[in-house]
Amino acid sequence: MNLLPELLSSQYSLVYNILSFTIASMGASFVFFLMARQQVGVTYRPALLFSALVVGIACYHYFRIFDSFESAYALADGVYKPSGKPFNDAYRYVDWMLTVPLLLVELVAVLHLAKDVSRKMLVKLIIAAVLMIGLGYIGEGELTNMTTRAIWGTLSSIPFVYILYVLWVELGTQVKTQSETVRGLLKVTRVVLVATWGVYPITYLLPMLGIDIQSSVVAIQVGYALADVAAKCGYGLLIFFIARAKSEEDGSLPVA
Ligand SMILES: *C/C=C(C)/C=C/C=C(C)/C=C/C1=C(C)CCCC1(C)C
């Protein structure tokens, strides 16, 4: 929970509109992923169910973030002043605590690797994800003491780098058995994952770059929201393409 700065009407509207856009994207993706399950083989349906859960959970949390943001401000004399009600940042971190492990499960599920290989990889990835988010949360509330923010951010980056390593190197060796098409799609997915997940630590870093606290508050909300749309909706769509390609290959594509 932060001490909120006053916002210009344009700054307030930007956050308001981006949060609203995110709710719409998550809601639409939820319906899409649920329907898309019928278009892939039975083996790959759990992956799409996980995609739907991710955006469903995020949709709910964005409603709460939106409400919390709206009630944290009151318009007075053309500027948005803190209403005295706190803006609850915890929704975002609770959301990540649930959705980041699910995104990892989604990826491993669509690959349909040997059970013990998937299980071992997921245990490592999920423990690292929980540490990354937990450590980041402690620093996130800190908008004035940049040393504190930097320390927690650095600690959180250690498990983050480990996750990227596991996905890039370990998963890389596992997917050698997949077909050419699937490997191509996986390469794109991996790049998308690293590119979108990379936006989070950059966004976290913004308040440390000497920008004013108003811009920091706006940039954090906009950065995280857009990253969430790419990392949950966009990435889910790629998982769907992989599931389609794999169903086609193993002849399990449902005939409409
Ligand atoms: C759908 C939500 C996703 C994919 C969230 C991902 C979040 C991260 C990769 C966050 C990473 C962070 C660091 C690496 C350091 C600074 C603190 C965090 C938590 C923003």
Which residue, among 27, 22, 58, 46, has the nearest Cα to 240 in the 3D structure? 46
Q: Is the CB of 204 under 6 A from ligand 1?
A: yes
Report whether pLDDT(44) > 90: yes
Task: Give me the domains of the chain, ranges plus CATH numbers.
Answer: 7-250 (1.20.1070.10)
Report whether pLDDT(54) > 90: yes
Report CA(181)–ligand 1 centroid distance (Å).
Answer: 30
Q: Tokens standing for 251?
A: 């002849």
Q: Is the CB of 236 under 6 A from ligand 1?
A: no
111 or 65, which is more confident? 65
Report CA(148)–ligand 1 centroid distance (Å).
Answer: 17
The burial of 160, by beta-carbon neighbours within 10 Å (0-12 exposed, 13-18 middle, 19 or more buried), is given as buried
Which range among 7-16, 103-112, 245-254 has the greatest average pLDDT?
Answer: 7-16
CB of 38 within 8 A of CB of 47? no
Atom of ligand 1 nearest to the CA of 156: 15
Report CA(170)–ligand 1 centroid distance (Å).
Answer: 21
pLDDT of residue 2: 52
Cα separation, 73 vs 7, in Å, equals 9
Atom of ligand 1 nearest to the CA of 96: 2
Beta bridge partners of 81: 74
Nearest-CA residue for ligand 1 atom 1 is 228
pLDDT tens digits along 162-218:
999 999 888 888 888 889 998 998 888 889 999 999 999 999 999 999 899 999 999
The one-letter amino acid at 200: Y
pLDDT of residue 1: 44
